Amino acid sequence: MNDALPRDFIRQIIHSDLETGKHTAIVTRFPPEPNGYLHIGHVMSICLNFGVAEETGGRTFLRFDDTNPGKEREEYVEAIERDVRWLGFDWDERLTHTSDYFDALYDYAEQLTRNGLAYVDSLSADEIRAHRGTLTEAGKNSPYRDRPVEDNLDLFRRMRAGEFADGEHVLRAKIDMASPNINLRDPALYRIRHVAHQHTGDKWCIYPMYDFAHTMSDALEQITHSLCTLEFEDHRPLYDWLLDQLKPEHRPRQIEFSRLNLAYAITSKRKLNALVDDGVVSGWDDPRMPTIAGLRRRGYPASALREFVKRGGVTKKDKLIEMAVLENCIREELDFSAPRRMAVLQPLKVVLTNYPQGQVEMMPSSNHPNRPEFGTREVPFSGELFIEQDDFMEDAPKKFFRLKPDGEVRLRNGYIIRCDEVIKNKAGEVVELRCSYDPDTRSGTGTSDRKVKGTIHWVSAAHALPAEVRLYDRLFTVPDPNAAEDFMAVLNPDSLATARVMLEPSLAELGVGEAVQFERLGYFCVDSVDHSAKAPAFNRIVTLRDSWAKVEQQAIAQRG
């Protein structure tokens, strides 16, 4: 793939900081809150944060932003680590938690308080909200705003000591209740929460708020560039205010970029959760989910995801990227790396009437037409085969290059056959084709160089490996389900179809994580959860591009 280094505005800033000597090494961080699974949107943040460090010889922290105990779980920590690692990034020993810094954070809070820049407010949450004002009206000072420093210190210490109940007091920064930026209207720094923390246990009953904890954690980790999404733009003045007041040795800089939104997908944690809870999908790793776990189980290669993010770019513009971009990345990677195999999704029996009774030939078949180093495999061929139902049409349009009555077609890696007779059941459905093969046309060794227009795939009936294949499609019917009034109302009812299929026998050896191309159909992989030797289960990763689909529609339309 093309490896020209992207030069988005963030990388421009970073390179400039390196050139001017402002920094000698870049330090970034990917700071998820362990309260859910990572999704495609996070892939961008991960690639950006780890990417810029990697490109410049810097380093990146994987920091769990765990300042809200009760909503965070160890299960998510493990999943996040697995996902980041799977994407191809490594944090070495730089795995941290915001909770690792609770002591230091507390000291910073006391410092602020001592300097008269923070105070303990005893208003209720509702009262604080009322005092905050609105978007267009200034807020009002809390009656506790001018509490003496000593009282604030005493109260804050007692908050920490557990003398108060949840909500009784809160530590607030003393900034400006009239600021047009609501984040500067004396934001809360610490709240009381008598909840055991997954890491610190019962040591604390007060926990720092995001803005405070994140800013100072960045400083403590000596982060040089704190990259986050656009919605935190309004928080930057607070970020900078904290750094201005506390003057840590290292001053990080926050830079915001726009989220990556994928068409026909949803990334809201709440909505994703609803899909799981309502059983719309089988779980967080359902192959239709935009979670990293889902994408992985679907069979999307990590490298393709990285490429996708790269193509999307880093900007500040709201974007909704077409699914086609992602699919192109997937196909590009898989076309290069996936061995070819044959499988029939909708079997139609074909009997070769002139093929020697009981004969079986092993047909050498290329594993990759464009990469001879992939070698070949032997595929059993016999007088009874399955072909795809779609590859036969009784009343075919002119441009139908497949099998039709009295027509010829090439069996991939096999022979040219002619359809002599169509057998139907009582319902008039085609259930079997009687064909004759041309012995002179064996692939590779045939004495005839006769050409036919079409080539179709097949599987020998006696050797076929029955399996279940899940055919996935987009989860929603509209490009921007986030904008839908009710996202549950725009679910695609056909996002999953399962089929009983016939596979070429070599597919029995395919392992989890290995993707193959079922020729003419698409890319598939073994399902990491439901697959077993007795009950093989495959997932369709993505279809092949299908220009015939368009031609077919036109042809059908023309026939009226």
Tell me which residues in 497-536 interact with RNA (CB under 7 A).
Answer: 517, 519-520
Specify the amino acid at residue 27: V
Q: Which two tokens stand for residue 77?
A: 């920590």
What 3-state class would DSSP assign to 264? Answer: coil
Q: Does 132 bind RNA (CB under 7 A)?
A: yes
Which amino acid type is present at position 524?
A: F
Write down the least CB distance from residue 530 to RNA, Å. Answer: 26
Binding segment toward RNA, per CB under 7 A, in 42-50, 294-302, 408-416, 525-533: 408-416
Is 545 a residue that touches RNA (CB under 7 A)?
yes
User: Smaller CB distance to RNA: residue 122 or 477?
Assistant: 122
The size of the interface with RNA (CB under 7 A), counted in residues, is: 94
Which positions ≥6 away from 315 have C-beta within 8 Å? 8, 9, 257, 258
Q: Which residue in the set 16, 115, 124, 353 belongs to the binding site for RNA (CB under 7 A)?
A: 124
471 binds RNA, rule: CB under 7 A: no
Q: CB under 8 Å to 379, separation ≥6 — which residues?
A: 342, 362, 363, 365, 413, 460, 504, 505, 506
Q: Choose the binding region for RNA from 102-110, 111-119, 204-212, 492-500 (rule: CB under 7 A).
A: 204-212
Q: Give DSSP secondary structure letters for 121-158.
A: E-S-HHHHHHHH--SSS-----TTTT--HHHHHHHHHH
Listed ranges 4-12, 247-255, 464-472, 497-505: which one lies at the site for RNA (CB under 7 A): 4-12
CB-wise, 249 or 318, nearer to RNA? Answer: 318
- Written as one string, the DSSP assignment of 496-511 is EEEEEEEE-GGGGGPP
- Residue of 1, 161, 230, 497 interacting with RNA (CB under 7 A): 230
Residue with tokens 């040219």: 416
Kindly indicate which of the ranges 109-117, 435-443, 460-468, 499-507 contains the residues binding RNA, using the contact rule CB under 7 A: 435-443
Beginning with the edge strand found earlier in the chain, give each strand of the sheet holding 522-526 in spatial order.
Answer: 340-341, 515-518, 522-526, 537-543, 465-472, 496-503, 343-344
Q: Which of 16, 24, 273, 315 binds RNA (CB under 7 A)?
A: 315
Helix, strand, coil % over all residues of the chain, rounded to 5:
35, 25, 40
Nearer to RNA, 219 or 281 (CB): 219
Q: Residues 55, 154, 240, 332: which binds RNA (CB under 7 A)?
A: 332
**Residue 60 or residue 413: which is nearer to RNA going by CB?**
413
User: Which H or E run includes 305?
Assistant: helix 302-312
Q: What is the CA radius of gyration of the chain?
A: 31
In the complex with RNA, the residue whose CB is nearer, 207 or 355, is 207
Report strand pairing: 496-503 vs 537-543: unpaired
Site membership for RNA, residue 178 (CB under 7 A):
no
324 binds RNA (CB under 7 A): yes
Kindly state whether residue 442 participates in binding RNA, applying the rule CB under 7 A.
yes
According to the binding rule CB under 7 A, does residue 90 interact with RNA?
no
Residue 554 phi/psi, 5° resolution?
Answer: -65, -45
Residues annotated as catalytic (active site), given as ranges = 33, 259, 269
Q: Does 162 bind RNA (CB under 7 A)?
A: no
| Residue 105, token pair as written in the block | 């954070």
Residue 544, interface with RNA (CB under 7 A)? yes
Of 142-150, 196-204, 272-280, 443-451, the window that binds RNA (rule: CB under 7 A) is: 443-451
The interface mask with RNA, positions 27-66, x = CB under 7 A, is ----x-x-------------------------------x-
State the CB neighbour count (10 A cutoff) for residue 445.
9
Residue 152: left if φ>0, alpha if ψ -120 to 50, beta else—which one?
alpha
Q: Is 214 in the site for RNA (CB under 7 A)?
A: yes
Kindly state the smallest distance separating residue 532's Cβ from RNA, in Å: 27
455-465: b (≥16 Cβ within 10 Å) or e:
bbbbbbbebbe
| Under rule CB under 7 A, residue 209 binds RNA | yes
Among 147, 191, 225, 288, binds RNA (CB under 7 A): 191
Applying CB under 7 A, among 58, 187, 301, 536 the residue interacting with RNA is 187
Select the residue interacting with RNA from 231, 394, 421, 494 (CB under 7 A): 231
Q: Of 298-306, 347-355, 367-375, 432-440, which segment contacts RNA by CB under 7 A?
A: 367-375
CB of 456 to RNA, least distance (A): 7
| Cα gap 43→441, rounded to integer Å | 50
